[in-house]
Chain A
Amino acid sequence: MKILSRNTNWKIFLSLFFSFWLQTGLVFAQKIRVITTIPDLADITKQIGKDLVDVESLAKGVEFMHAVPIKPSFVPKLNRADLLLLIGLDLEISWLPALLEVASNSRILPGQPGYIDCSVRINVLEPPTRIDRSEGDIHPKGNPHYNLDPVNGKVIAETIAAALSRNSPQYQETFQKNLKAYLAELDRWISRWQEMAAPLKGIKFVPYHLEWSYFAKRYGLEQVGTVEVKPGIEPTPNHLVGLVQKMQQEKAQLVIYGPQSDRFPRQLASQTGAKALKLPDMVGGEPEADTYIKMIDYNIKTMLATVKGS
């Protein structure tokens, strides 16, 4: 009887053990497992991959994308990924390499087919003229915040569709069809935004961090300084005094910040008459901005409302 009981226990243990392995391995194997560094890439991947992909972003929209905490819970996700989509241009340099070091997944290491740098076809702005840490936490390959220009959203979508097609050529037709539909939708929005954003042309603004250069170029806003002394370096009292003078001279109307503290933007706004405006720099940064299209739409509408209000 005891032997029987032991055998039964073993059977239960073994069946639980194998069902656990089946759950963790085979069930996920049905879809293309995509991990993205930021939610914008995850949303665009969903639009193109639809039901064929299982996609998750490591960073959440409310986080500061340069300094995402290195959580070991990211490691199993990266370990199972077929594709890793990243913004590139060293945006993720402070957290992604350390995770890849322990993810035990050679498919998604730099240089491998599963490592997809979405900046490859982007016309990059603001490459630094001097690469030295005295210039702050600069990105040697140029400004990585290209996701805030919706026309770059189209380029990202094309890069993602190509990556998915390379990874699963049997679904290439579906990905291309979904890409075409998404690009058509983006085009409609882009035309609408171009008209809507006309009043923003010539508006002078100060961002906290150099995040809004691509957006500003698209819609004709003029940047007259940054809250940070240099990228990643918090403002000093002297810098703030100089910035207030410059904002007053240039008649800057907006101080834009994201996941940073509102302390300095509010201080600058109160001293210059400009408006401090918090805007999401990633999908999910605000509850209303839960898709890429909604995020751009939210940013333009909020900016317009603030400018008109002032």
Chain B
Amino acid sequence: MALTTLRTPILGASVLVSFLLLFPVLGLAQSSELESLRATVKGMEQQMQKALERIDQLEKEKATTSARVGQVEKSVQGVQSAPSLFNPAIGMVIDTTAEHRGKAGGNFNLRAAELGLSASVDPYARGYAFINGNNEGVEVEEAAAFTTALPWNLTAKGGRFFGDFGRLPKYHQDALPFVNFPLSIDRMIGGESQADGAELYYLFPTPFFLRATIGGYNKLGAENERIDNTKLRSESQFTYLGRLQSYFDLTDNHSVEIGSSLAYTPSVRIPGDASGGNRTLAGIDLTYRYQPLGSTLYQGLTWGSEFYANSERFPTDDVAKRQRSFGGYSYAELKLNKNWSTGFLVDYAPIIENPRQRTIGYSPFLTWQISEFNRVRFQYSYLNNNFRADKAENGNQFFLQWTTVMGVDTHGFRVR
């Protein structure tokens, strides 16, 4: 008991002493643990930082790799298409009609099997050609080159091409908004404005579109038989052209395009008349378009008109006489939906050798655009002549046209 009594204060004292002795040790242990924890956290932070850096690096590598994959895919595509890159873009238009022309009867008419080619020649020029085979044979309709890198907004063109006269005379027949060229174009220009020669275009540095053209040709008009395309001639017997063309957006949906053209031939040879005489052919073209931005696929209206004046000497029974003739056409085409459109063409066409004789044509038409490259069109025309005309160019006419495009449509800006 005495021992027990004695042990208690000793035990208490020793516990107290131990506590007092150990306290700093405990404190020291806690401090070192804290240090160790700090070191661990710091280590983890560093590891995390390294991991983040690695993730960044991997992401960058991934981006670079996918970019490389993209580039490799592009090169593969490039290599795959390389043979065609060095070949011209090729297109073939087949334009065929079933026709019934007044009392003359009807036929199936392969109007065009038109091969179109287009490609860069080098960094300074592009070339294009249209070779057309039809019921009348095979003809090089166009084969021309134009520059792509002339300074001062200039572009030069040379070869055989459709001269920059008016709007529709530059169209190939298969690209017209109706079946045939208006008779006014046929009679006053000679069909398409085909010309062998050279042109120079200047795009004015204006905020709006304004372009001038000057040209010199053997003759103007694919079917203009009055001038020989093959014989050598003096400078006065070439045809010279000037044209100014502009375009304005009235609003986002409405636009107007205007142009004026003048073709002047200083001297046209007339059989039996040594003095000859000059020829002046002038034209004004005006096109209004309604193209609602949000629904250009389904709606739209085009109203196009051209007026021509021709002044030229023609042989008569006694002497050559100057004849002045005026003609033109106007049409409107309404887009009904994505595939269908309809329109009406009015045409006033004088005989330029005898302007008192004229034909007025009225032609409603309906177009079914099956796809961008496949089109069927029906047109009825009534031709009213004030003279005894050829049976094929008189009275009621019916046309069913089917036009298809294989490959690339190489007609470009002019038939927009």
Bound Cα distance from A94 to B371, whole angstroms: 13
Q: Quick check: A79 and B70 within 8 Å, CB to CB?
A: no
- Cβ–Cβ < 8 Å partners of B201 in chain A: 102, 104
Instruction: Please indicate the chain A residues that have their CB under 8 angstroms from the CB of B289 in the complex.
Output: 69
Report if A124-B70 is in contact (Cβ < 8 Å); known contacts: A98-B413, A104-B155, A259-B295. Answer: yes
Whether the pair A121, B412 counts as a contact (CB closer than 8 A) is no
Residues of B within 8 A of A106 (CB): 123, 148-149
Which residue in A24, A69, A98, A232 is a CB contact (below 8 Å) of B207? A24
Contact with B along A83-121 (1 / 0, CB 8 A): 000000000001001110111101001000000000011
Cross-interface CB contact of B297 among A79, A140, A260, cutoff 8 Å: A260
Q: Which of B67, B154, B203 contacts A102 (CB 8 A)?
A: B203
Binary flags per residue of B356-392, CB closer than 8 Å to A gives 1, else 0: 0000000000000001110000000000000000000
Within 8 A of A (CB), among B279-304: 289, 291, 293-298
What are 30 of the A-B contact pairs (CB < 8 Å)? A21-B205, A60-B252, A63-B293, A67-B297, A69-B291, A70-B413, A73-B209, A73-B255, A75-B211, A79-B153, A79-B203, A79-B205, A98-B413, A101-B126, A101-B412, A102-B203, A102-B211, A103-B203, A104-B155, A104-B201, A120-B74, A121-B66, A121-B71, A122-B70, A133-B406, A137-B371, A259-B295, A261-B295, A261-B298, A261-B338
A contacts with B, residue count (CB < 8 A): 45
- In the complex, the answer to whether B209 meets A75 with C-beta atoms within 8 Å is yes
Could you tell me if B416 and A70 are in contact, using CB atoms closer than 8 angstroms? yes
Cβ of B257 under 8 Å from chain A: yes
Chain B residues 119 to 151 lying within 8 A of chain A, measured CB to CB, are 123, 126, 148-150
- Contact (Cβ within 8 A) B67 A121: yes
Say yes or no for B61: interface residue by CB 8 A criterion. Answer: no
**Cα of A79 to Cα of B148 in the assembled complex, Å:** 12
Tell me the B289-348 residues at the A interface (CB within 8 Å).
Answer: 289, 291, 293-298, 337-339
How far is B150's CA from A109's CA once the two chains are assembled, in angstroms? 13
Given contacts A76-B208, A79-B153, A98-B412, is CB(A71)–CB(B294) below 8 Å?
no
When distances are taken between beta carbons in the complex, the residues of chain A under 8 Å from B228 are none
A-B contacts besides A70-B416, A97-B412, A120-B70, 19 pairs, CB < 8 Å: A62-B294, A63-B296, A67-B297, A71-B247, A71-B255, A73-B209, A73-B255, A75-B203, A76-B207, A76-B208, A76-B209, A102-B211, A104-B154, A121-B67, A123-B73, A133-B373, A234-B338, A261-B298, A261-B337
B18 is an interface residue with CB less than 8 A from chain A? no
B4 close to chain A: CB less than 8 A: no
Contact A25 to B205, CB < 8 A, known contacts A64-B296, A69-B291, A123-B70: yes
Determine whether the beta carbon of A67 is less than 8 Å from that of B209: no
A64 to B300, CA, bound (A): 14
Give the distance to chain A from B35, nearest Cβ to Cβ, in Å. Answer: 38
Contacts A123-B70, A124-B73 given; indicate if A73 touches B372 (C-beta within 8 A). no
**Considering the chains assembled together, what is the distance between the CA atoms of A309 and B43 in angstroms?**
51
Q: Does B275 sit within 8 A of A, measured CB to CB?
A: no
Closest 8 pairs (CB-CB, A-B): A72-B247, A70-B416, A72-B209, A106-B149, A62-B294, A98-B413, A104-B153, A121-B67
Please measure, in the bound complex, the distance between the C-alpha atom of A16 and the C-alpha atom of B406, giving whole angstroms. Answer: 51
Contact pick for A232, options B67, B155, B295, B371, CB 8 Å: B371
B297, A259: Cβ atoms under 8 Å? yes
CB-CB under 8 A from A75, the residues of chain B are 203, 209, 211
CB contact under 8 A between A104 and B71, given known A62-B294, A69-B296, A98-B412: no
- Confirm or deny: B206 has a beta carbon within 8 angstroms of a beta carbon on chain A: yes
B248 close to chain A: CB less than 8 A = yes
Using a CB–CB distance below 8 Å, which chain A residues touch chain B?
21, 24-25, 60, 62-64, 67-73, 75-76, 79-80, 94, 97-99, 101-104, 106, 109, 120-124, 133, 136-137, 140-141, 155, 232-234, 259-261
Q: Tell me how far the C-beta of A69 lies from the nearest C-beta in chain B, rounded to whole angstroms.
A: 5
Please tell me if B234 contacts chain A, counting CB pairs below 8 Å. Answer: no
CA distance A102 to B212 in the complex (A): 12
Chain A neighbourhood of B149, CB < 8 A: 106
Distance in angstroms from A59 CB to nearest chain B CB is 9
Task: Count how many chain B residues have C-beta atoms less than 8 Å from C-beta atoms of the other chain.
Answer: 49
Docked Cα-Cα span, A283 to B136, in Å, equals: 52
Q: Does B249 contact A (CB under 8 A)?
A: yes
Given known A104-B155, A259-B297, contact A76–B71 (CB-CB < 8 A)? no
For chain B, residues 229 to 259, give those with C-beta under 8 angstroms from any C-beta of chain A: 247-249, 252, 255, 257
Q: Which residues of B contact A124 (CB under 8 A)?
A: 70, 73
Report B71 CB to chain A, min CB distance, Å.
Answer: 7
B8: interface (CB < 8 Å)? no
- Docked complex Cα distance between A297 and B413 (Å): 38
Contacts of B81 in A (CB 8 A): 140
Q: Give the complex CA separation of A122 and B69 in angstroms.
A: 9
User: Hey, what's the 0/1 contact readout for B193-222 against A, CB within 8 Å counting as 1?
Assistant: 000000001010111110100000000000
B208 to A94, Cβ gap below 8 A?
A: no
Q: Is B5 an interface residue (CB 8 A)?
A: no
Residues on the A chain within 8 Å of B150, using CB: 104
- Chain B residues, Cβ within 8 Å of A71: 247, 249, 255
Shortest distance in angstroms between A128's beta carbon and chain B's nearest beta carbon? 12
Give A103 to B146 CA distance when docked, in angstroms.
Answer: 13
Pick from B206, B293, B338, B416: contact of A24, CB below 8 A.
Answer: B206
Provide the residues of chain B in CB contact with A234, threshold 8 Å.
Answer: 338-339
Residues of chain B within 8 A (CB-CB) of A261 are 295, 297-298, 337-338
Residues of B within 8 Å of A122, CB to CB, are: 70
Task: Tell me the bound Cα distance from A232 to B372 in angstroms.
Answer: 8
> What residues on B are CB-neighbors of A21 within 8 Å?
205
CB pair A137–B413 under 8 Å, yes or no, is: no
Cα–Cα distance between A94 and B373 once the two chains are bound (Å) = 12
A98 CB contacts on chain B under 8 angstroms: 412-413, 416
Chain A hits for B123, CB < 8 A: 106
Given that A121-B70, A124-B73 are known contacts, is A60 also in contact with B293, CB under 8 Å in the complex?
yes
Are A233 and B247 in contact, with the CB atoms below 8 A?
no
Q: Which residue of B lies closest to A124 (CB)?
A: B73
CB-nearest residue of chain B to A105: B153
Give the chain A neighbours of B208 by CB distance below 8 A: 73, 76
Q: How many Å lie between the Cα of A76 and that of B249 in the bound state?
A: 13
Contact A233 B371 (CB under 8 A): yes
Question: When the two chains form their complex, are residues A137 and B372 in contact, meaning their CB atoms are under 8 A apart?
Answer: yes
Cα distance, A233 to B293, chains bound together (Å): 20
A70 CB contacts on chain B under 8 angstroms: 413, 416
